[in-house]
Amino acid sequence: MTNEDEVRWLDADQQDIWRSYLEGTARFVEALESIHAAELPLSLGEYGLLVKLSEQPDRTLRMSALADGLVVSRSRLSHTVARMEERGLVYRCAASGDRRGVNCRLTDAGYAALVDAAPGHVRAVRRLMVDVLEPEEFEVLGRVMAKVAAAGRAATEATGTPKGRTDC
Amino acid sequence: MTNEDEVRWLDADQQDIWRSYLEGTARFVEALESIHAAELPLSLGEYGLLVKLSEQPDRTLRMSALADGLVVSRSRLSHTVARMEERGLVYRCAASGDRRGVNCRLTDAGYAALVDAAPGHVRAVRRLMVDVLEPEEFEVLGRVMAKVAAAGRAATEATGTPKGRTDC
DNA sequence: GTCGTGTAGTTGATGGCTCAACTACCTTCC
DNA sequence: GGAAGGTAGTTGAGCCATCAACTACACGAC
């Protein structure tokens, strides 16, 4: 399984690309998170959570769906939502139908924070990514990362315990 | 500054691309980290650190250079290296020339761990990214992320306190 | 020389994340 | 109907990252 003879190493060009990817993602999130921390009322993670909620019909989503959508563990989401609930950004209530379920709902204050943060967020995303690329480059990036997302999803479902799953 | 009239929002296509990017990076690191945790003797972060060291002439690098190369704060690197030092993977010693400086050096055990982890790491990177893309797609990804890296670097240097800097 | 400022790195307190364990509920099957 | 196993979500302990403060050294100006 760890037999070295079978390994197809990356050639020099592939290594360069790989390192560009690693550095690019690292610098990008570093810059975006620091803009959120310095100028906006929500961290990048909180912003993403509120965006997801705001897109739902009743600004409401099941905890599990939210965790899957944000690609975080259920445990982490529980803790995060608990903190955001204390700040009045969201609140939890029982889900109808399945008595195990819990809904997470965006409050008016949460929506207001989202509206407040959105312009700065979009400006930052443009400055750090969208506007530094040619339109075609940006499009390819989207196609490419959709493929990568699918591969990751497949790998996570197939083998290891995804995130915070007790089953298997 | 947060005047909404001036904001150039993303159109529907751009939003799709942006979300593909977010989900792709999230699922990718999730899968890669879980492979490291389950099958390899080093976490993804530790692996990256040892790779950087192994590329240096004497398998040695200044702490500050290491922090910059890995895009992490000096504080975080200090803690991480302290833990890895306890495991015998690296060790620190005074740098020559500048008496403030500290060198981080790869031990034989650290190199052995790297050699041990490398095949599984490369296999995972291929399965999760390189091999799911057309060669041209992968090349574009490299070009694109190099641009993004540059933009992030510029933003971080220009404005906010980068990571763990006390100056400014 | 020493004052001021900048750089290198560490440290400890705080807060968030992870992991495993747990409750509670649903579903299936006999 | 009840036993077994799956799903939904939470909790607390321990680990890791972050932040601000700190030591120590370097360098330039006067």
Among candidates B87, B50, B84, B86, which has minimal Cα distance to B69? B50
pLDDT, tens digit, 9 for 90 and up, residues B21-59: 999 999 999 999 999 999 999 999 999 999 999 999 999
Altogether, the residues listed in chain A come to a count of 168
Among candidates B118, B144, B119, which has minimal Cα distance to B25? B144
pLDDT, tens digit, 9 for 90 and up, residues A36-51: 999 999 999 999 999 9
Which chain B residues are closer than 8 Å to A31 by Cβ?
151-152, 155-156, 160
Of the candidates A30, A139, A151, the beta carbon closest to that of B17 is on: A139
- Contact predicate A25/B25, CB 8 Å: yes
Which of A2, A15, A16, A21 has the highest number of chain B CBs within 10 A, making it the mutation to test binding with B?
Answer: A21
- Greater confidence (A66 vs B97) lies with A66
Lowest mean per-residue pLDDT among A18-27, A154-163, B94-103? A154-163
Rounded CA separation A161/A166 (Å): 8
The stretch A108-136 carries a mean pLDDT of 98
Chain B's closest residue to A124, CA to CA, is B155
Kindly report the three-state secondary structure assignment for every residue of A66-102. Answer: HHHHHCCCHHHHHHHHHHHHHCCCEEEEECCCCCCCE
Class of domain A20-117: mainly alpha
Mean pLDDT of chain A: 93
Mean pLDDT of chain B: 93
**C1'-nearest nucleotide to the CA of B83:** D16
Cα A137 versus chain centre, distance: 22
> Where in chain A are the domains?
20-117
- Contact predicate B53/B90, CB 8 Å: yes
B19-157: CATH, from 1.10.10.10, 3.40.640.10, 3.30.450.20, 3.30.499.10: 1.10.10.10
Task: Say which residues have a Cβ less than 8 Å from residue B37's Cβ, sequence separation at least 6.
Answer: A160, B43
Rounded CA separation A96/A106 (Å): 17
